[in-house]
Structure 1
Amino acid sequence: MVSHSDSSQHPGTVLRKRFMGPHGLDVETLAADLGLPVNRLEDVLAGQRSITADMALRLARYFGTSPLYWMNLQSRFDLHVTGKVLAQEIERDVRPRLTRDVA
């Protein structure tokens, strides 16, 4: 299950802190075990790349989690970041349906 505190953390941070650290994994070992290029995993860990469906499937198999765990981490993070950036614009531009029905 994804916790609310994870929604503001990039999935790469969660991967490093909750999975790599406790298992003593370095980026080269994990990338090799996942069958991924080291630079792709480094980019995820640095918060510069998103977790893709392919990576979610690989991480799920490797760590015994579900692919949805990883995709949910990414979705929650994306919504958190986008919401912060676009909140005022969306509030200004989008008129809720209920407001129109009442008027």
Structure 2
Amino acid sequence: MERRPTPPGRFIQSDILEEYGLTQDQLAQRLRVSRLTVNELVKGKRALTASMALRLGRLTGQSPDYWLALQRAIDLWDAQEEVDNRTIEEIEPLQSHTE
């Protein structure tokens, strides 16, 4: 991938807040979390947790796996940017026991 995947917070902003005309405070109340939690998710300062995926799944009708996949894509992208590829390439793969 050439660019960083879209963070879950952008989907929360556009697909929930803007589409349904909700404020962050209203969304926080519906999700039973703090406004700070929603704000940090939207701004990309907080990772989406499994618990939040369950809440968003219930709210939106989307699978919690959908929400977790968005976060997983970000996590993998960030890790690839941080880890030295030579270090990864130097790791010897395990050989099958049957060989």
Scaled by the length of structure 2, the TM-score of the pair is 0.80
CA deviation after TM superposition for structure 1 residue 89, in Å:
4.3
Find the partner of 1:37 among 21, 34, 39.
34
- Residues 8 and 81 of structure 1 are in contact (CA less than 8 Å); yes or no, is this contact kept in structure 2? no
Higher helix share: 1
2:85 is equivalent to residue 88 of structure 1: yes
2 CA distance for matches of 1:53 and 1:97?
Answer: 30
Secondary structure of 1:22's counterpart equals helix
Q: Which has the higher contact order (CA 8 A, sep 6+)?
A: 1
Find the counterpart in structure 2 of residue 74 from structure 1.
Answer: 71
Q: Which amino acid aligns with 2:40?
A: D
Over the aligned positions, Cα root-mean-square deviation in angstroms equals 2.5
Secondary structure of 1:65's counterpart equals coil
The structure-2 alpha-carbon separation of the partners of 1:15 and 1:90, relative to structure 1 and needing over 3 Å to count, comes to farther
CA deviation after TM superposition for structure 1 residue 94, in Å:
2.4
Find the counterpart in structure 1 of residue 57 from structure 2.
Answer: 60
2 CA distance for matches of 1:68 and 1:43?
Answer: 21
Q: Which amino acid aligns with 1:54?
A: S
Please, which moves more after superposition, 46-55 or 15-24? 15-24
Find the partner of 1:22 among 19, 23, 28.
19
Equivalenced residue count is 95
Scaled by the length of structure 1, the TM-score of the pair is 0.78
Identity percentage of aligned residues = 29
1 CA distance for matches of 2:66 and 2:87?
Answer: 28
- Residues 56 and 67 of structure 1 are in contact (CA less than 8 Å); yes or no, is this contact kept in structure 2? yes
CA deviation after TM superposition for structure 1 residue 87, in Å:
4.5
Runs of 4+ that moved beyond 2 A: 87-98
